[in-house]
Structure 1
Amino acid sequence: MTAREPFIAFYGCERDPEQAELPILCSGRPLFVIGVDRAAYSTGRWGTVLLRLPEQNLPAIPTVFHQDIFNGTCSIIEPGVSTRLSVPREECIGLERQASWPKEHVESRLTDHYEGRPNVWVEAMRVKLSIPSTPRLDSG
């Protein structure tokens, strides 16, 4: 279900819902709200299940984090705020990493949810509390 581009809210269903049921199913809490590549849903691969909700029914866009891959510093990105707040890495535990998910990774996340197992992509994108040191190249 669409939130605000590029964010999409995904709701749990044990079966393919009828079109008339979608507004009711989308009135609860979504499984997750993530940034999704436009190519993931614009091709029609996900069928008619994609629904644009009325503005008043849109779920909140989540706070996400960014982590520098070189030095491990973290910042929190609030929805609608252009500044990033630098924080200790521990404050990013439980937040989603800033990302744009491709269709295959979204589909694997949904499959893993229904099969009750951790998703490899979610786990790989968790905040890294320690960053391995990079070997120095000595000139000599």
Structure 2
Amino acid sequence: MGKQKHKTGTFIRLALADGSFGYGRLLEPPYVAFYNHRTTVPDSDLDRIASKPALFKIAVNLLARNAWDLIGWRALEEHLTQPLVQFRQDVGDFRRCTIFDTAGKKRAAEPQECVGLERAAVWEKDSVEERLLDALLGRPNAAQEHLKVRLR
């Protein structure tokens, strides 16, 4: 499909560092969902890709989104249209956290409440590819660990 405008629902394919391929789906910009699907040859079967669970949903730099192959489009399933919940944590005072979502809800929170949520961050191409491969292989990811909520 080549390069084109970001269209919500578009499937993307990423070439990963070990020669395998990972897959994602464009959500409302700048968000992308990444699937638990890894292949050794490029897969373009949208049914097969869409049937896999999403590993994570994060905000991704536009240049990164433009670098990946667009392999087809389909309207988003219900579970991919839910508001994404993220947190921010004060750099100076780690006890000050905010939980917010893409629907505009926002509230103050304790750091403990942010465990398991994504920190608000925009990911670059290499970091996304590394995180996806780590997730697919079941390994910890340095960037993701770094972004976890600080509890002390």
TM over 0.5: yes
Determine the structure 2 residue equivalent to 1:11: 35
Q: Which runs of 5+ in 2 are unaligned?
A: 1-24
The 3-state SS of whatever aligns with 2:65 is: helix
Query: Pick from 26, 29, 43: which aligns with 2:50?
Result: 26
Higher strand proportion, which one? 2
Q: Where in structure 1 do 4 or more consecutive aligned residues deviate above 3 Å?
A: 55-58
Q: Which runs of 5+ in 1 are unaligned?
A: 131-140
CA contact (8 A) 2:119 2:148 kept: yes
CA distance in 2, matches of 1:61, 1:28: 20
Query: 1:35–1:54: structure 2 CA closer, same or farther, 3 Å change rule?
Result: same
The 3-state SS of whatever aligns with 1:32 is: strand
Q: Which has the larger radius of gyration?
A: 1
Query: 1:30–1:126: structure 2 CA closer, same or farther, 3 Å change rule?
Result: same
Q: How does 1:86-105 map to 2 (within 5 A)?
A: 86-105=108-127
Q: Report the TM-score when normalising by structure 2.
A: 0.73
CA distance in 1, matches of 2:42, 2:79: 19
Q: How does 1:23-102 map to 2 (within 5 A)?
A: 23-42=47-66, 45-49=67-71, 51-56=72-77, 59=80, 60-72=82-94, 73-81=96-104, 83-102=105-124
CA contact (8 A) 2:32 2:58 kept: yes
Q: Report the TM-score when normalising by structure 1.
A: 0.79
Can you list the C-alpha shifts for 1:65-102, whole angstroms capped at 9, x where unaligned?
Answer: 00010112101012211x52001111001100011111
Aligned residues: 125
CA-atom RMSD in angstroms: 1.9
The 3-state SS of whatever aligns with 1:11 is: strand
Q: How many percent of aligned residue pairs carry the same amino acid?
A: 31
Query: 1:55–1:110: structure 2 CA closer, same or farther, 3 Å change rule?
Result: closer
Q: Report the residue type matching 1:124 in the other structure.
A: H
CA distance in 2, matches of 1:112, 1:56: 26
CA distance in 1, matches of 2:100, 2:141: 23
